[in-house]
Structure 1
Amino acid sequence: MGAGDLSLAVLVAALWGINFSIIKIGLGSFDPFLLSALRFILCALPWIFIFRRPQVRFKYVLSYGLVLGVLQFGFLFVGIREGLSAGLASVVFQLQAFFTICFGAIFLKDQVQFRQLAGMVLAFAGIVTIAKIDGSSNFIAVLLVVAAAASWGVANIIVKKSGATDMLGFTVWSSLVPPLPLLAIALGINGPSHVMTDLRHIDWSGAGAVLYLVYPTTLFGYSVWNYLLRKHTTSLVAPLTLLVPIFGMLSSMVIFHEDLTLRKMIGVVLVIVGLLINMFGFPFRKQTAASVSPQATPR
């Protein structure tokens, strides 16, 4: 992976890391399913009148919208509402990298090299170190975010299988799918009066949270992410999101004053070292990176 693509991946990781704190702020104003529905309504409108419909089979647009919009963000938002802190949610959510690699090996026949397995194991140890259950979380909340991570893994495979080349158009048009199911769930759980109350009492923090979730996180972030998935193998791209919890914890520390303990610092170091091994091998040298260049060659 070249320096340009790597820089894009790091930028997206930073935006997605901050995203977890923004979600928590947004949940102070909206029901989780209503917040997610508003996100995708604004992702789709008015942009479907500007970007052409992606030249892929409709089943990929439909399945990606359902898996990403309804399952991934439904599980994630409810998990954060149920008590998982923004910093820990950003860590647990990165299990998607392991789901993506496993699903890629099963359904796409992607080859996983030993150095990648070693790096992922080390990074996984870092995630376990950081996300060890404590008083700030509970089992149900963690389980919900793990389900969100698995849904993201499935969504990544759908992107690869779709063959889409216009990633922004694919993101915009697939955003048409989630709003109705999400609104139906919100209405079914809370009733029309609760939904209308949330909509009538939107404050600046709620509106700002929705706008951040729409533009930097979804339209820009997922378009770049899908572009990288199309260009590189899943086993090379997916582990880059292990940088997300680092930005997630830093933003949570700044916004919510979440403590940075020694255990979390050790976990961060393990994640970074695991990522470096996954990307560049043993040790971190150009020769090693060059030796695995077929993995990084654009398709």
Structure 2
Amino acid sequence: MKPADVCIAFTVAVIWGLAFVASRIALDEFSPELMTTLRFAIAALPCLFLRKPEVSWPLLIAISFTLFLGQFLAQAFAIAHGVPVGLSSVIVQSQALFTIAFAAILFGELPTRMQTIGIGIATAGLLMICGTVGLDFSLGAFAVLMICPVSFAIGNLLLRRAPGVRMFDLFAWLCLAAAVPLSALTLLSNGPRPTWQALSQMSLTGLVCVLCLGGVSTSIAYWLWGRLLRDYPAAQVVPFALLVPFVGSAASSVLFGETFGPLRLAGMIAVVGGIAFMLLSTRSQDSSRQVLPKIA
């Protein structure tokens, strides 16, 4: 990768890691539904100037509801109900496990021996984390959080069915498809008056957080990530995402005083290590075979 693109990949990882912190701060003012609505409403603003990409509405909605709505709404609910930010950032990255598992079940894409070892390490880490559930947050909150990687993985596979489209245009319309039902959900669950009060009494901190979540973390960062995936093999780009949980955990530790017990810390390291093992082994195989997959 070019040095400039390596810097972009690092920057995107840092943005996504800090987005977990921004979500935690924003949830002090907004409900999970309202915060997620604002996030995607802001990110969907480019749709005013962009034509809908050549993707059918059913597919567009399916990708939006999994890759965006399901993942980020579950994440917001989990964080709002006590799941630590650092732990959340690790669990979300476990989507790599579910993506490989679903690809094997649906498409017969069986993992290699090295990937299987990585899956085993990461799964052991998840089990260790499960052993700490109930100490500082509920089992229900953790179950909601586990929707994130599952939804993320399904969205990844659905995204394969939209090749050859411009990433920025696609992501903007995916955000629009998520913002509309989320707006209705917010009004139904929170009520029109509380929703209006939350918006009218928004602090500068809350405004900055949702602008960063919508405009920077969702719109700009996803566009940059898509451009990198278009220009380079996925095996070169995706490993940079492993920086996300480290950034999220470090920022949460500094700002919120988040600490990790020995078992949870070991589990988080095992999850990230297992995913790294999978991705780096895939990178090695792709390099040896000179496979250059690209996503438009």
Q: Same-fold call, TM > 0.5?
A: yes
TM-aligned CA deviation for residue 67 of structure 1: 2.4
The residue aligned with 2:183 is 183
Give per-residue Cα distances to partners, 1:266-296, cap 9 Å, x unaligned.
Answer: 44543454344323449xxx976633543x5
TM-aligned CA deviation for residue 63 of structure 1: 1.7
Q: 2:288 aligns with which of 263, 286, 291?
A: 291
TM-aligned CA deviation for residue 218 of structure 1: 0.6
Q: Which moved more, 1:79-88 or 1:5-14?
A: 5-14
TM-aligned CA distance change 1:107 to 1:24, over 3 Å: same
Distance 1:101 1:238 in 2: 14
Give per-residue Cα distances to partners, 1:205-257, cap 9 Å, x unaligned.
Answer: 11011011112211123234445666788898767644422221111011111
The residue aligned with 1:217 is 217
User: 8 Å contact 1:86–1:248 — kept in the other structure?
Assistant: yes
Aligned residues: percent identity?
29
The residue aligned with 2:106 is 107
TM-aligned CA distance change 1:252 to 1:236, over 3 Å: same
CA-atom RMSD, angstroms?
A: 3.1
TM-aligned CA distance change 1:244 to 1:11, over 3 Å: same
Q: TM-score normalized by structure 1?
A: 0.84
Give per-residue Cα distances to partners, 1:177-219, cap 9 Å, x unaligned.
Answer: 1222112212212211110110110101110110111122111
Distance 1:7 1:28 in 2: 32
Q: Which moved more, 1:79-88 or 1:270-279?
A: 270-279
**Aligned amino acid, residue 71 of structure 1:** G
Aligned 1:159-178 pairs, distance under 5 A: 159-178=159-178
Distance 1:237 1:220 in 2: 17
The residue aligned with 2:74 is 75
Aligned 1:1-299 pairs, distance under 5 A: 8-45=8-45, 47-129=46-128, 132-227=132-227, 241-263=241-263, 265-267=265-267, 269-271=269-271, 273-281=273-281, 290-294=287-291, 296-298=292-294
User: 8 Å contact 1:54–1:164 — kept in the other structure?
Assistant: no
TM-aligned CA distance change 1:192 to 1:258, over 3 Å: same
TM-aligned CA distance change 1:40 to 1:272, over 3 Å: closer
Distance 1:110 1:228 in 2: 24
Structure 1, unpaired ranges of 5+: none
**Aligned amino acid, residue 298 of structure 1:** K
State how many pairs are aligned: 294
Distance 1:212 1:228 in 2: 21
Q: TM-score normalized by structure 2?
A: 0.85
User: 8 Å contact 1:279–1:289 — kept in the other structure?
Assistant: no
Distance 1:171 1:96 in 2: 19
User: 8 Å contact 2:93–2:242 — kept in the other structure?
Assistant: yes
TM-aligned CA distance change 1:182 to 1:11, over 3 Å: same
User: 8 Å contact 2:96–2:153 — kept in the other structure?
Assistant: yes
Structure 2, unpaired ranges of 5+: none
Q: Which moved more, 1:68-77 or 1:148-157?
A: 68-77
